[in-house]
Amino acid sequence: MTSIGSILEQHKGYGPGFHYMRVALAILVVAWHAHYAYAGAAPDSINLEKTWILWFAGYAVLVMFFILGGFLIAGSLVRLSLKDYTINRCLRIMPALVVEVVLSVFILGPLFTVLPLTEYFGDYHTYLYFTNVIGVVNYFLPGVFAHNPAPEVNNSLWTIPFEYLGYAVTGSFAILGFTRRPALILASAAGVVAIGLVLLGSGVAAPEQFLPSPSAAAAPGAKVAALFLGRGARLIVAFMLGVAAYFYRDQIPYDRRLFLAATSLCVLIAALGPAPWLNVPALNAIACPALVYVTLYIGVSEMPRLPLFWRGDYSYGVYLYGFPIQQAVRTLLPSSDASTHFIVAIGPILLLAILSWHFVEEPILKARRRFSLLGRQSEAAAASKSTRAMVETRRRTA
C-alpha cells in the first residue's frame, strides 16, 4: 500500500505540495477578507459567510492551514528536545510578527490615523497594540482606518493565540507521552468537540466575534466558549488532527479515490450550509477529518516549480500583511469595489511578504539551525564533506 508516509519518505520527509498550499491558502485568506475590508458588516447580498456553497471556503481555508501546521510541527517535535522545539517555534513565528506590529504602530498608524500625531503617540492604546506579539489580540490603533467599514488594523491576528495554543498543546502531548499513543491525541480532539456540544446543549451561545475583546468587559465564560464553540474551536481541532495524522502517516493510504470521496463530502457539507453550521461543534467533527485527507493528499503530491514562489515561503508574510494593506487600499480607493481592492492590494502584499521572508524570516531560520533537525543535518553534511576533502588532500600529498 502506498501511504502518505511512504510518499513523504520518497521526498526525504518533505511534501512538495505543502509549499504551494501554504501560499495558496494565504492568498485565499486575502481574497476572503476583500469583501469584509470593502463592506465591513456586509449585507447578506455580499456576505460570503451567508452565501450558498461559498461560505465553506471561509471555514476550510484556516482549517487546512492549521491541519498543515499540526502535521509539519509534529515532525519537528519528535526530532527535537522539548526545549529546542519551543525555541524553534518561537523563532519561526515571533520575529516576523514583531516586525509587522512595529511597522503598523510606527509607519502605518501615523500615515492613516485621523488624529494629530501628538495625540496618536500620546494614547496608551497605541502601545497596547504591541500585546499582539504575545497573542493578546488588539485590533485597533487610535484613529487608524476610523472611516473604513471594517475598523480593524489587522483582522488576521485573531488566529495567533490559537497558533500559540497549538504549539503548547503539541508540546504537552510530548510531555504526557501521547506521541507514543496517538489515539490519545485523537481522543483529545474528540474531547474538544464533546465539550463544545455539552456547552451548546446547556444553552451557552457561541461568541459572535473571533475572540472576546481584551479591551472590553467580556461576559463570564466568554473565553471558554471561544475555545470550544467559537470559530477558534475548529482551529484547535484541526491542529490536533494534523498532529495525529503525522503519527498515523504510514497507515493513511495515498489514494485518489479517497481524495475524491473526502472532497465530495466537503462539497456536500457546503451545500447544506451556511449560517447555523459555522459555530456548531458537530461541523468540526464531520468536516475536519475530511479536510485532513484533502490537505495531506495535496501536500505530498507532485507540483510544478513556480519560479517566484519556489524561492521562499511567503505564506506567513502574505498572512501578516494582507489585511493592513487591504485596509490601506480601502482608504485610498474608497469608491472601488472589493475585486478591485484585491487586485490592487495583492501586489504590495506579495512584495512585503517577499521582503519579510528574505530579510527577516530566512535569516532567523538560518540562525536557528542548532534548534532544528534540518539545520543539524546540513551542518553534519557540511562537516562530513569537509572531513572527506581533508582526508583526500592528505592522501594525495602523502
> What is the C-alpha to C-alpha distance for residues 101 and 125, in angstroms, rounded to an integer?
13
DSSP string, 337-386: -HHHHHHHHHHHHHHHHHHHIIIIIHHHHHHTGGGSHHHHHHHHHHHHHH
Q: Could you give the number of structural domains in the chain?
A: 1
Whether the pLDDT of residue 385 is over 70: the answer is no
Is 374 domain-assigned?
no
Average pLDDT over residues 63-68: 96
3-class DSSP state of 248: coil
Among positive and negative, which fits the CA dihedral 114, 120, 124, 130?
Answer: positive
Closest CA to 330 of 322, 338, 319: 338
Look at residue 221 in the predicted model and tell me its pLDDT: 60
Mean model confidence pLDDT for the chain: 85
Q: Per the domain annotation, does 76 fall within a domain?
A: yes
User: Does the residue 378 lie in any domain?
Assistant: no
Q: What is the pLDDT of residues 317-342, one digit of tens each?
A: 999 999 999 999 999 999 888 899 99
Q: Is the pLDDT at 227 greater than 90, yes or no?
A: no
What tens digit of pLDDT does each residue of 269-322 get?
A: 998 876 565 567 889 999 999 999 999 999 999 887 776 777 788 999 999 999
71-93 per-position pLDDT tens digit: 999 988 888 888 889 888 998 99
Give whole-number Cα distances, 214 to 218, 223, 231, 328, in Å.
8, 10, 17, 24
Contact 154, 105 (CB under 8 A): no
In a domain, 398, yes or no: no
- The Cα 106–Cα 150 span in angstroms is 21
Of 302, 169, 183, 173, the C-alpha closest to 237 is 169
Q: How many residues does the chain have?
A: 398
Q: Note if the bond before 348 is cis, omega within 30 degrees.
A: no
Query: CA-based Rg of the chain, rounded to a whole angstrom?
Result: 22
Is position 381 within any domain?
A: no
pLDDT, position 381: 42
CA-based end-to-end distance of the chain: 53
Cell (9 digits) for 159: 488566529
Domain housing 240: 4-367
pLDDT score recorded for residue 272: 84
Across 6-15, 231-240, 301-310, which has the greatest mean pLDDT?
231-240
Binning pLDDT at 50, 70 and 90, where does residue 389 land?
very low
Residues contacting residue 176 through CB under 8 Å, at least 6 positions apart: 184
